Chain A
Amino acid sequence: MEERLWDYVDGISSAHEKSVIEKLLETDSEWRHKYKEILKASILLQESIELDEPSMRFTQNVMEDIAKYRIAPAASTYINKKIIYGIAAVFVTILVAMFVYVFANVNWSSAGSGGGMSFDISKINYGKIFSSTYVNIFLMLNVIIGLVFFDKYLSVRKKKLLEQDSANTAI
C-alpha cells in the first residue's frame, strides 16, 4: 500500500493505477489515513532538503579555469556518419563480391566424392584473378570511392574550423 501511495503522491503512477487509488481513497479510511501521512512526508522532503554551498570564490575560480580552454567542436562535426557508412559499404561490397566469386566457382555436382569441396584453394591461380580486367576495375572503383569520401570529410572539417575561427575573431 505504502509503495503504491508514494508512487501516486510522486505522480509516477500509471493512469490505471491512479484511478484505482483514487477510488480506494474515497472508500477506504485506512488508505486515506496513510495517504495523508505520505503526503505530509513528501512535502517535508521537498521543503526541507538544503543544499551545501561552495566557497564565495567558486564561480570566479571556475571562470579563471575555463579562460584557458576553448570549447571543443562537437563530435558530430568531425565524425561524419555518412563517411563511416560509406567505408562500411565498400567493405561489405568487397566481401559480398568475394563470396559470390567463391560460390560461383564451387563444383556442387561432386557431392559424395570425398566429402570435401571439389575446388582446391591451393590450386587457385591468383595471378589470373588479379590480372582480370573486371576485378581490377572493381578494386580501383573501391579505391576511388574511398578517396572521394576521405576528401569530402577533410573539406567539411576544414570548413567548420574556418567558420569557428572567424566567429571567434569577430567577437
Chain B
Amino acid sequence: MATQPSDNDLIVQVLRGNQQVFAELVKRYQNFVFTIILRYVENREDAEEISQDVFVKAYRSLADFRGDSKFSTWLYTITSTTCITHLRRKKQDVFSLDQENVFARAENLNSGFTANEVEQKSKINMVNSAIALLSPDDAQVITLFYKAEQSLDEIATIMGLETNTVKVRLHRARQRLREKMEKHFVAELSDLR
C-alpha cells in the first residue's frame, strides 16, 4: 500500500522546480489555515483572501524552510503573522461569530439521522459552536492543540509566546469553553453526562 509522501519530500520536489506538487501541500493544510484565519476576520471572503496570501508567502519563502520544525508549524506561524498584519492594516477589531450564526449552527439537527448519529452530531455542534464563542486567541490555541496536533512548544513558536504562557492560555481557554458550554448548551451537556 503506497504511503503518502511526507511534507518534506514534497518540499524537496517543489524546490527542484516541480511547482505543481505544491498543490498537494495546499490541499493538506488549506482547511487548517482557513479555519485559523476565519476566527480572526469578519467574513469568509477576507479569510479566503488572507489564506491565499499565506500560501503564496509560504511558496515564495520555501527555500528558507530548514526542516528543523514541522512544515505545519512553519505554515501556521506564517498564518498567524499574516493575519495580524492584515488586521493591523485594516485596523479591524477582532471578534467571534455573532450569536445568531452560532445558534443557527447549533440547531443543525437532521431528522434523517439515527439516535446515536443525532447525539454525535449534537456533541460536535455544541463543541464547535462553543469554540466559536471564544476569543480568537483561545479558539486558536484549542484548535492548534487538539485538531492540528501541535505541541505546546510549537504553538509557542506559532503565536510568538513563551511555552508556559501557552500552557496557561490552554488551561484558561478550556475553562472558558466549559463556561460557554454550561451557559449556552445546558440541554446538550446534560445529555452527555
Which A positions have Cβ atoms within 8 angstroms of B? 3, 6-7, 10, 12, 41-42, 44-55, 58-59, 61-63, 65-67, 69-75, 77, 167-168, 170-171
Contacts and interface: CB of A to CB of B under 8 A. Distances in A.
B146 A72 contact: no
Contacts of B171: 3, 6
Contacts of A62: 22-23, 26, 30, 52, 55-56
Contacts of B14: 71
Contact of A49 (B18, B38, B131, B152): B131
B84 interface: no
B56 A65 contact: yes
Contacts of B30: 53-54, 58-59, 62
A131 to B, nearest CB: 50
A71 B127 contact: no
Interface string B47-58: 110011001100
A96 B114 CA distance: 83
A59 B124 CA distance: 27
25 contacts: A3-B171, A44-B123, A47-B124, A48-B128, A49-B142, A52-B31, A53-B31, A54-B31, A58-B48, A58-B51, A58-B52, A59-B23, A59-B27, A62-B23, A63-B22, A66-B19, A70-B60, A71-B15, A71-B61, A71-B62, A73-B63, A74-B63, A74-B64, A77-B63, A168-B17
Interface residues of B, number: 47
Nearest to A63: B23
Given A55-B48, A71-B62, 5 more contacts: A51-B32, A62-B26, A62-B52, A65-B52, A69-B59
A98 B68 CA distance: 43
A81 B130 CA distance: 50
Interface in B34-51: 34-35, 38, 44, 47-48, 51
A12 B44 CA distance: 35
A145 B38 CA distance: 54
A69 B59 CA distance: 9
A54 B48 contact: yes
B26 A63 contact: yes
A145 to B, nearest CB: 30
Contacts of B123: 44, 48
B147 A51 contact: yes
Given A49-B143, A53-B31, A59 B26 contact: yes
B134 to A, nearest CB: 12
B190 interface: no
Contact of B59 (A3, A44, A71): A71
A51 B31 contact: yes
Nearest to B33: A54
